[in-house]
Amino acid sequence: MKITFLYSLLLLFTGTNITNPNSNRISDKSLDLALLKGAWTLDLSPENKTDDNFAKMTITSVSENSLEGTFYRDGVKIREGRINTQRGILYAALVSSDNSGTYNTSFYYNDGIIYGTTHSVDKDFLAVWTATKTSK
């Protein structure tokens, strides 16, 4: 009896839905995806504010689960741009490439700032960056 009671409390306070454990994984349709559209300045040196190492991202189109534009510099097209709004947070991921290799990038949007990472297998690095919007 005590175990059943404690388990019930656990379910109540954690919000777990026994009948549908995936119920908290539904995309949030209320998020404004258009917030991503526009030109963004990426600060590739968030740990060292004395280094002015900037790149850019321009998002030209967003839909329910995808985005298009350029990343890092003009002419580097975003491929496989995807959006996910699980748990009420606007996440995105994309692939880009240039003459030196392919880059896998993911980020999330919070209060006007994008927080992201870019991974290059070919160049053996993981960059952590932030971005602020420069135009709509």
pLDDT digits (tens, 9 = 90+) for 20-68: 444 444 456 789 999 999 999 999 876 666 666 789 999 999 998 999 9
- Cα–Cα distance between 73 and 122 in angstroms, integer? 19
Spans of all domains in the chain: 27-135
Residue corresponding to tokens 């994309």: 94
Task: Please compute Rg for the chain using Cα positions.
Answer: 19
pLDDT digits (tens, 9 = 90+) for 98-119: 888 999 999 999 999 999 999 9
Residue 62 burial (CB count, 10 A): 20
- Cα–Cα distance between 62 and 106 in angstroms, integer? 15
Q: What is the CATH number of domain 27-135?
A: 2.40.128
Pair 117, 106: CB distance under 8 Å: yes
In single-letter form, the type of residue at position 11 comes to: L
